[in-house]
Amino acid sequence: MTTADVTVRGAGIFGLSVAWACLRRGARVKVIDPNGVAAGASGGIVGALAPHTPDNWYDKKEFQRDSLLMAESYWADVAQVSGHDPGYGRVGRLQPIMNERGLKLAHDRVEGAKTHWLGQAEWQVVKASDLGHWAPYSPMGLIARDTLSARIHPRRATHALAAAIQEKGGVFSTEGEPEGVEVWATGLAGLEQLTHELGKEIGVGTKGQAALLAYNNPTAPQIYASDVYIVPHNDGTVAVGSTNEKTYDRPTETDEKLDELLERVFGVLPQLKTAKILSRWAGVRPRAIGRRPLLGAHPTREKTYIANGGFKIGFGVAPKMGDAMADLILDGQNTIPTDFRVESIL
């Protein structure tokens, strides 16, 4: 007797978001992951939900914008059902303006946000002196601030989502046979498997390293400066990261590259230098060709779908991605942007 309509392989943010969307539409769902919830890249610590800039607009940016606008109610629902706090907060983002070219781009983005962010968020140019001690250094004394960016605590969010799925009747296991249609959301292993099956490179892994500091500033905006994210969480910590390593020997071990990243962080916000380092994290994020999510029907297997390639924007696009995959799996409606579809890389 079939007990599931949809079997999701992979309990990271993509797999869980697909499972949640299908479950909420009435499907019976089973999630299989031999390593448990958020054992891979989704178990990270940074959690910067940051939009692409609101200029040079195209469908990837629109998809991400829509997902970020969905995020507050999405994670509130997860929190209510699960009883667990995912650490979501729409706190905005600060980026220092470094030169005249950057200032022109920032002003262009002010206008772009008015057009493309639907009156629900802004891109602003503000004085660093108005932001107090949390302002990153800017040689021009000016900061680009947006109000669409948010933060999430990746580990807490994935476990809250898994708990919500279970509360709604979803089943988790570490092994088992698939039932109904399958969704492969298996991260780097899935990209490598596709590469082998299709005889062409479909994606690779990119290592990231991050650290968690003891510093309490829960309502402060995230900062992006000197190629690092500084993300205050609501539990008395600040996460900083991450590196972007295309080659690596020890995928889950931190090393001197994290020490170098921390030095850049301390250059942006010197007050963090005295904060205690609570933990260090390293992991490999799945990056599909083109640095965009890979969504849709499996190219060689019937009744099988793929949700992969979240890379750096996985948590940001997860709410809308889950709905788009449920549209396809349950209703046969393909609302996935053309550039995200599996067939776009074949």
Q: Which of 90, 152, 98 is nearest to 121 (CA)?
A: 90
Q: Which residues fall within 8 angstroms of residue 137, CB to CB, at 6 or more apart?
A: 96, 128, 225, 267, 268
Last residue of a domain, one of 243, 264, 284: 284
Number of C-beta neighbours around residue 203 at 10 A: 23
- The number of folded domains in the chain is 3
Residue 112 lies in a domain: yes
Last residue of a domain, one of 260, 284, 308: 284
Q: Which of 154, 145, 153 is nearest to 42 (CA)?
A: 154
Residue 58 lies in a domain: yes
Do 127 and 246 have their domain in common? no
CATH number at residue 68: 3.50.50.60
Q: What is the distance between the alpha carbons of residues 71 and 193, in angstroms, rounded to a whole number?
A: 31
Do 227 and 124 have their domain in common? no
Note the pLDDT of residue 1.
Answer: 47
Pairing of strands 304-308, 294-297: antiparallel
Do 299 and 316 have their domain in common? yes
Per-residue pLDDT tens over the stretch 203-261: 999 999 999 999 999 999 999 999 999 999 999 999 999 999 999 999 999 999 999 99
Q: Is the peptide bond before 279 cis (omega within 30 degrees of 0)?
A: no
β partners of residue 240 = 211, 230
Last residue of a domain, one of 232, 258, 284: 284
Residue 192 lies in a domain: yes
Do 130 and 163 have their domain in common? no
Predicted TM-score (pTM) of the model is 0.96
Do 169 and 78 have their domain in common? yes
Per-residue pLDDT tens over the stretch 139-177: 999 999 999 999 999 999 999 999 999 999 999 999 999
Show the domain range for 36: 6-86+151-203+289-345
Q: How many CA atoms lie within 13 A of 54 on its CB side?
A: 27
Residue 1 lies in a domain: no
Do 72 and 175 have their domain in common? yes
Q: How many CA atoms lie within 13 A of 330 on its CB side?
A: 22
Do 211 and 262 have their domain in common? yes
Tokens representing 175? 């092994």
Note the pLDDT of residue 346.
Answer: 80
Q: Does the CA dihedral 300-304-305-311 come out positive or negative? A: negative
Do 70 and 216 have their domain in common? no
Do 143 and 234 have their domain in common? no
Tokens representing 11? 């309990």
Do 245 and 122 have their domain in common? no
Do 13 and 77 have their domain in common? yes
Do 165 and 42 have their domain in common? yes
